[in-house]
A and B are shown apart, each in its own frame.
Chain A
Amino acid sequence: MSNQQKHWEKTRGLLFITLAIWFVFSIGIFLFGAEMNEVTGPFGYPWTYWFTCQGSLGAFVILIFWFANRQEKIDEEFGFSEREDE
């Protein structure tokens, strides 16, 4: 397998992990919205309500920065990161 194929395989792996986490916060928890809202969550808000106000939104912000860093590491590992002069 060529260097480029390996790079793409790892990139795809990272995509699947990222989309799995994205799925949990955008869809997964809202499958059980009614049940989870009975429980008191962070800062005293009901759980599901808190996720729609802040939790999921904040998780997406963190997820994108985490993804960007991981992808940069993958690019470096295979020598595909950009040089500054490009």
Chain B
Amino acid sequence: MKGNFIDNLPKVYGIYTGGFIGFIIIMAIAEQMGMTAKAIGIAFVAFTVFIYALIGWLSRTAQADAYYVAGRQVPTVFNGMATAADWMSGASFVAMAGGIYFKGYGYMALLVGWTGGYVLVASLLAPYLRKFGCYTVPDFIGTRYGGNLARFSAVVVLTVASFTYVTAQINATGTIASVALDIPFQYAVYVGLISILLCSMLGGMRGVTWTQVAQYIVLIIAYLLPVFWISNKMGAGFFPHFMLADEVARIGELEQQFGFVKNAAADLKSVPKGLAGITKAHSAVNATPWAFISLALAMMMGTASLPHVMMRYFTTPSVKAARKSVGWSLFFIFLLYSSAPMLATLSKLSLIDPNLPTGIIGKTFAEVEAIDWYQNWNQANLMFISDFNGNGTLELNEFFMGGKAVVLATPEIAGLPYVISGLVAAGGMAAAMSTADGLILAIANAISHDVYYKIIDPKAETAKRLLVARVLLVIIGFAGATIAAMEIQGILGSVIWAFDFAMSGLFFPLVLGVWWKRANRQGAIAGMLGGLAAGTWYLVWVRTGGSGFLGITQLTFGIFGSAVSLIAMVVVSLMTAEPDKATQKMVDDVRVPSGKSILGKSH
């Protein structure tokens, strides 16, 4: 191909998308010719991971600028896709539709929170941090406020938040790899880890950028194709997003008809761990305004503080492009997030409506137990039925399912060919890998650039810096995988904690660094460490039986942490001397897009 790589991007990814669709078709034909389900699953995961590794190898680099910020030449739309993949984790892909299915409105605060945060990113932070020209988020804190302690505090907050997040992602890659490749989870975690490192180790941010674009394309096809297919097959509507109102109303009707019968505690003991029944109305408002708003708010402020997202906007060619790129990111995220409630609706209706051929409520136990897909998912520990009232017929309160099953099992329930299930596995793998890549890179870059280069050895040569960065990448990856292999925490819970940690320590020090000239070093340090300590204390207190206050739960502890952070930062800043003239001038320069960036091109 003529011209440079950047100009050819649409062509390159166009061919890639065509090739991937071709691969799906080949697999579909192979299935008809008798290829086994297991072989299809392995082919999907192996083929896509091989492509990502190839992209990672082609993007290898020995330049600091390319390793840390992809050479600052990623076009707006492609950066949007990469950010969307970076953002949408295994939790978004596998668990979100399930959460909506079981918890309804109260859970959907996460949808609003995980999208609304981008308005804060676009208006408060991204363009200004891009103008700054930093390599990492602590780089901004360290230069704006000055001093090693401020820089180091930012690294601490970043590491706590990102590490909480990354173990969940490695856990998700392990889960999918173990199902698709049929190997034990303890080994699958390391298979997932090696795939992740293949993408990021040689090319750093450059490698991660181009693999994330490729991963976005896989995951969005894998999510949307089944939703549209199922909707059309059920006759629910050609374009589900605009046409499922009748189905939503029908679910409401059925809920009325069946009623939400409360099970006895003794009965519930027999249900396998992790499975749940339908106990909440599908589309009714089932949470108090504050419960909804506090969760959404915590997720929004967390979004604007998470370093792996922020650093994606350091890679655009200009400040203007950074702003637009946030819009594109959210557009690409919107495509998946707005489809999750539709999938939850289709999945629930197909299971509970007795008028549909797939409906199981109202059938006899013998009938349900004879269904192929019920047997498969019961074996996988994701479905369970039990005749509590002994009448021989399945009632709504006697049917239990795992949250992951909504995404993983619905295609099979709706009677789609197995090739779709293989595609969904590849999509889940892409979603978890892309987020894990971004997070591990964020931690390793912060430690290699901010701790090693800026604090320990400022004279280090580029080759040595990049070697340190890569060694750290491997160490952090293995540490994350080791903790993930212990399976101590659920995927979704730890993701939400990561947002709370990030907002507790970083939201106000970042925002006020741009928007309040008077903010100084002492204030920022107090804000970061005070906020993180307060948030952590609150979490531990509630987890150990504390009652909490103001309705702040263990999922929204960042609201308390960030409030303490704000107060500490303002009070300490005002009690100490204002920043020097040079710093004030620096803030003025950050506020206008034109002119040189604050930090040099290579620093």
Interface positions of A from 25 to 65, Cβ below 8 Å from B: 25-27, 30-34, 37, 43-46, 48-49, 51-54, 56-58, 60-61, 63-65
- When chains A and B are docked, how far (Å) is the Cα of A75 from the Cα of B592? 8
Q: Are B327 and A64 closer than 8 Å at their CB atoms?
A: yes
Q: Are B337 and A57 closer than 8 Å at their CB atoms?
A: yes
Q: Are A54 and B594 closer than 8 Å at their CB atoms?
A: no
Interface positions of B from 414 to 466, Cβ below 8 Å from A: none
Q: A58-B338, A64-B330 are in contact. Are A33 and B119 (CB under 8 A)?
A: no
Is there a chain A Cβ closer than 8 Å to B111's Cβ?
yes
Interface residue SS majority, chain B: helix
Q: A67-B122, A68-B122 are in contact. Are A7 and B592 (CB under 8 A)?
A: yes
Q: Shortest Cβ distance from B448 into chain A, in angstroms? A: 28
Q: Are A45 and B105 closer than 8 Å at their CB atoms?
A: no
Q: Pick the contact of A15: B118, B124, B342 (CB < 8 A).
A: B124
Is there a chain A Cβ closer than 8 Å to B518's Cβ?
no
Q: Are A52 and B123 closer than 8 Å at their CB atoms?
A: no
Interface residue SS majority, chain A: helix
Residues of chain B within 8 A of A34, CB atoms compared: 285
Residues of A within 8 A of B (CB-CB), count: 47
- When chains A and B are docked, how far (Å) is the Cα of A11 from the Cα of B323? 14
Q: A15-B124, A49-B105, A58-B334 are in contact. Are A68 and B292 (CB under 8 A)?
A: no
Q: Are B296 and A30 closer than 8 Å at their CB atoms?
A: yes
Q: Are A33 and B123 closer than 8 Å at their CB atoms?
A: no
Q: Are B283 and A49 closer than 8 Å at their CB atoms?
A: yes
Q: Are A60 and B330 closer than 8 Å at their CB atoms?
A: yes
Is there a chain A Cβ closer than 8 Å to B362's Cβ?
no
Residues of chain B within 8 A of A53, CB atoms compared: 108, 111, 338, 341-342
Q: Shortest Cβ distance from A64 into chain B, in angstroms? A: 4
Please name the residue on chain B nearest to A37 by beta carbon.
B285
Residues of chain A within 8 A of B280, CB atoms compared: none
Q: Shortest Cβ distance from A15 into chain B, in angstroms? A: 5
Q: How many A-B residue pairs have CB under 8 A?
A: 145
Residues of chain A within 8 A of B108, CB atoms compared: 52-53
Q: Shortest Cβ distance from A83 into chain B, in angstroms? A: 7
Among A7, A25, A56, A61: residue with most chain B CB under 10 A: A61
Stretch with Cβ within 8 A of A (4 or more), from B181-189, B243-251, B539-547: B243-251
Q: Are A18 and B119 closer than 8 Å at their CB atoms?
A: yes
Residues of A at the B interface (CB closer than 8 Å) are: 4, 7-8, 11, 14-15, 18-19, 22, 25-27, 30-34, 37, 43-46, 48-49, 51-54, 56-58, 60-61, 63-65, 67-68, 71-72, 75, 79-83, 86
- Supply 14 further A-B pairs (C-beta < 8 A) apart from A26-B119, A53-B108, A68-B327: A22-B123, A30-B292, A30-B296, A37-B283, A45-B245, A57-B334, A61-B327, A67-B323, A68-B324, A68-B326, A79-B594, A81-B320, A81-B593, A82-B594
